[in-house]
Amino acid sequence: MEVRENDRVSYDDQGRRVVLREENYEPHGTEEDQQKYFDEIYSSHQRRLEGTPVVENYDDIYWWPYEWLLKVGSEYYFRYEGTQTTPPCINKAHWRIMKDPIRVPPHQIKELERLIAWRINDKCEADTAGRKRDDGNLDAVDVNRPLQSYDSIHRMVFCECQDWPSKFPQERSWCRNWKNRDPKIRFEQNPYNWAQDGF
């Protein structure tokens, strides 16, 4: 692959050369442009939450793949290299865990578990990637991979206040004076963007 003047060359974990084209990492627009774009999509999201959808179909519902990010209200995340939770459970799955969880009603969690447990393949045969639970609940499965221990090869990183300022007001408030706050208080007693007392 040809390497142009402003391209970057890197190597993956197996020593293969990877060429990063300049257009893929160069910032697009100014910080002001990015803030304007964020404000536009965030206000649009807020208007949709207040609107009344048509009951007959979903044609009026605008779908945007990053809407969940707005619902979390956080840009910060933990990043690490781990393994897949489904067979063949290979290494080098890159995980991103948002700092703040998405609050989900219990009935949605149950439905998600049911959909995973009763997944079917393209031949309409049962084909779940999970394993049956010991409690006999047929509407939920556990992941095939056992819990893993942390190791230095996982290269865990927490991207937070010190890395870039968040666009969310509640997160900027959480980050206020982060250098002067005890990390134990910030991460264990007040880890999220809303009022709470520990986890």
Instruction: Kindly report, residue by residue over 65-109, the tens digit of the pLDDT.
Output: 667 777 778 888 888 888 887 777 777 788 888 888 877 788 888
Please give the Cα distance from 81 to 12 (Å, whole number). 13
Beta bridge partners of 11: 17
pLDDT in tens, 158-167: 888 888 888 8
**Range with lowest mean pLDDT among 14-18, 26-30, 143-147, 153-157:** 26-30
By CB atoms closer than 10 A (0-12, 13-18, 19+), residue 91 is exposed
The token pair that represents 157 in the structure block: 């990183």
Please give the Cα distance from 130 to 152 (Å, whole number). 28
Instruction: Look at phi and psi of residue 198 and say left if phi exceeds 0, alpha if psi is from -120 to 50, else beta.
Output: left
Q: What per-residue confidence (pLDDT) applies to 27? A: 57
Token look-up 């067979």 returns 87
Q: In Å, what is the CA distance from 193 to each residue of 92, 97, 141?
A: 30, 15, 31
Q: Is the pLDDT of residue 198 over 70?
A: no
Q: Report DSSP state, residue 146.
A: P
CB neighbours (10 Å) of residue 159?
14
Q: What per-residue confidence (pLDDT) applies to 29? A: 63
Q: Report DSSP state, residue 61.
A: -
Of the candidates 171, 152, 151, the residue with the CA atom closest to the CA atom of residue 161: 171
pLDDT in tens, 40-67: 777 777 776 676 555 555 555 566 666 7
Q: In Å, what is the CA distance from 67 to each residue of 27, 49, 64, 72, 91?
A: 22, 11, 6, 9, 29
Q: What per-residue confidence (pLDDT) applies to 199? A: 44
* Contact between 42 and 66 (Cβ < 8 Å): no
Q: What per-residue confidence (pLDDT) applies to 58? A: 55
Q: Report DSSP state, residue 178.
A: G
* Helices (H), ranges, 8-66: 22-25, 31-50
Q: Is the pLDDT of residue 123 over 70?
A: yes
